[in-house]
Amino acid sequence: MSRSKPFRFKQFTIHQDRCAMKVGTDSVLLGAWAPVFHNPVSILDIGAGTGLLSLMLAQRSQAEIIDAIEIQDLAFEQCVENFEASQWSDRLYAYHASLQEFVAEVEDQYELIISNPPFHSEVQASAEPSRDLARQNLFLPFPDLLQGVGQLLAPMGIFAVILPHKEVTSFTDLAATEDLHPIKVLAVRGNPEAPVKRSLIAFARGKTNFEYDELIIEMGRHVYTQDYIALTRDFYLKM
């Protein structure tokens, strides 16, 4: 199956033929894991792409407002289409803007902010410039991301993000300058022998102890662990 074909989840469908970054494990993990125990009324998705994270949070929460910002033209258009086709269209709003533009124009704050940010700090070039833009943090450097979150996050809000494991220390140090500190961390391994590849982190204001867990995705090829199945079963059709 071509990855540009629609990706069907249990309660919604993601059309992705015009979006550089397709549905991937990282976003599904983040959307399924991001804390909603504080019952957020307002949610912001930074760098929405297809709108997957926003749709997952619409399914998982009772948030009245879920705003999504996306800078790329085609991805923004596709995000809007995916929102309008969903059962939660009255709660989902897409904005065609950079984070910097959005921060300058919006006075609202959000009780949950979520982002699967660009994570390649080195400049890379490929045959797909739009994919390069989506993956390189040259266009949304971590300091800019965290400064924006610092301004947009409500006092008791939570910021949830997924990062390459090698970026965790530097990102956490930067977050501390905005008084954002980990409250939950989930380290992800592809299989029991693999190193930690990704870390999901939930930040809140004020330093405190944090909860640390690890997740292994597979025991063998397509033999998924019970933890991974439990986390994603509300979304994947075949889980």
* Separation between Cα atoms, residue 191 and residue 217, nearest integer Å: 6
Per-residue pLDDT at 132: 47
pLDDT score of 1: 35
pLDDT one-digit tens code per residue, 31-65: 999 999 999 999 999 999 999 999 999 999 999 99
Q: Which SS3 state, helix, strand or coil, does residue 65 take?
A: strand
> Which CATH number is correct for 7-182, 1.10.150.170, 3.40.50.150, 3.30.365.10, 3.30.390.50?
3.40.50.150
Helix axes 25-33, 52-60, angle to 10 degrees: 30
Q: Give this prediction's pTM.
A: 0.90
173's tokens = 């140090």
How far apart, in Å, are the Cα atoms of 62 and each of 66, 91, 185? 10, 9, 24
Find the mean pLDDT for residues 208-224.
94
Q: Average pLDDT, stretch 180-204?
A: 97
Comparing C-alpha atoms, which of 88, 85, 49 is closest to residue 68? 49
Query: For residue range 123-173, what is the model confidence (pLDDT) as tens digits?
Result: 344 455 544 444 444 567 999 999 999 999 999 999 999 999 999 999 999
Looking at residue 139, what is its pLDDT?
Answer: 61
- The mean pLDDT of 67-73, rounded to a whole number, is 95
AA identity, residue 114: I
What pLDDT band is residue 121 in, cutting at 50, 70 and 90? very low
Q: How many residues does the chain have?
A: 239
- What's the average model confidence in pLDDT over 74-86? 96
What residue segments make up the domains of the chain, in order of their start?
7-182
* Per-residue pLDDT at 21: 80
* Both tokens assigned to 62: 């009772």
Write down the pLDDT at residue 3: 52
- Tokens 């982002």 locate to 115
Q: Each residue of 127-163: b (16+ CB within 10 Å) or e?
A: eeebebbbbbbebbebebbbbbbbebbbeebbbbbbb
Measure the CA–CA gap between 211 and 132, rounded to whole angstroms.
Answer: 34
Which of 230, 229, 173 is closest to 201 using CA atoms? 173
Judge whether residue 219 has pLDDT over 70.
yes
Q: What is the mean pLDDT of the chain?
A: 90
| C-alpha triplet 51, 157, 114: angle, nearest 5° | 20
pLDDT at 119: 62
